[in-house]
Amino acid sequence: MTTIREPLRTRNPAPAPAPGPVVELIGAGKVYPGGVRALREVDLTVGAGELLAIVGPSGSGKSTMLNVIGTLDRPTSGTVRVAGHDVGALSDAQLSALRARHIGFVFQHFHLSPGRDAVDNVADGLLYAGVGRKERRARARAALERVRLGHRLDHRPHALSGGEKQRVAIARALVGEPDLLLADEPTGALDTASGEIVMGLLHELHASGTTICVITHDNEIAASLPRRVRFRDGAIVADSGSGFGSGSGFCSDSGSGSGSGSGAAPAPAVTPVPPQVTP
């Protein structure tokens, strides 16, 4: 049985990732039915160890960027590479394997299972990684300790504060040791004090080497991060440049598309497909 520390083996395996950036978009575009252009030939490179914000108002295209970088949606033009994999060349099953191994997600509204305690909620982050139940729970406890929730292991979501729920969600995203953590409005549902704790935790994780991309409309949060990529009308209009952490550096390109049209439309939901793993 494979583990999350090894490349997932499928009947149609994804190609071995080449050394390079964690995320690379080259001329990436997204057009939804009806001709709505949500992304306009975006060029973006995120190197290992970066902490950056993708910032912009509602309808600017940042949520579409989250879906494309997170492989929840495919671009209609251009190239998207995550951890060296060309997303456009992978099947749905291979994309599920890619997400399980390389990407962790943190959402604004936590998405915790109400009837399960913190350990089981975090362990669920390894369901598609070919990890046995005992090891899943052991890793979940370690991840909760990492976000300073060792005293809440057996608490269900209703017994946790908003900030604690978000820390459980962060632990779930980290339990598989992904190359990239995507945080979508991570403080949007929190009070100011809880939001500051969560952002402090993200800074600590970045200092330890985690590559983190925060999607936000909050300019104050964006200003607190080393790199800010600003979106408007589906295009990058400003990029403060790379702000590499402990990882090696790559040049970051700031680009913007041409043309006119409305901003991002909601991307269709994609249900993860468990990868077919062979012994």
Residue in the structure block whose two tokens are 């992304």: 39
Q: Global pTM?
A: 0.77
Average pLDDT over residues 44-59: 94
Q: What is the mean pLDDT of the chain?
A: 82
Q: What is the mean pLDDT of residues 14-28?
A: 74
What pLDDT is attached to residue 100? 87
Q: What number is the average pLDDT over the span 42-67?
A: 94
pLDDT above 90: residue 14: no
Q: What is the structure's pLDDT at 27?
A: 97
At 255, the pLDDT band (50, 70, 90 cuts) reads very low
Give pLDDT tens digits for 129-184: 778 999 999 999 999 999 999 999 999 999 999 999 999 999 999 999 999 999 99
Of 127-131, 215-219, 243-247, give the range with the top mean pLDDT: 215-219
Task: Tell me the mean pLDDT in the region 246-258.
Answer: 35
- Mean of the pLDDT values across residues 47-58? 94
The mean per-residue pLDDT over the stretch 54-65 comes to 93
**Is the predicted pLDDT of residue 271 greater than 60, yes or no?**
no
pLDDT at residue 241 above 90? no
Looking up tokens 């979501």 gives 157
pLDDT at 247: 35
Residue 109 pLDDT > 80? yes
Q: Please check the confidence at residue 273 and state whether its pLDDT lies above 50.
A: no
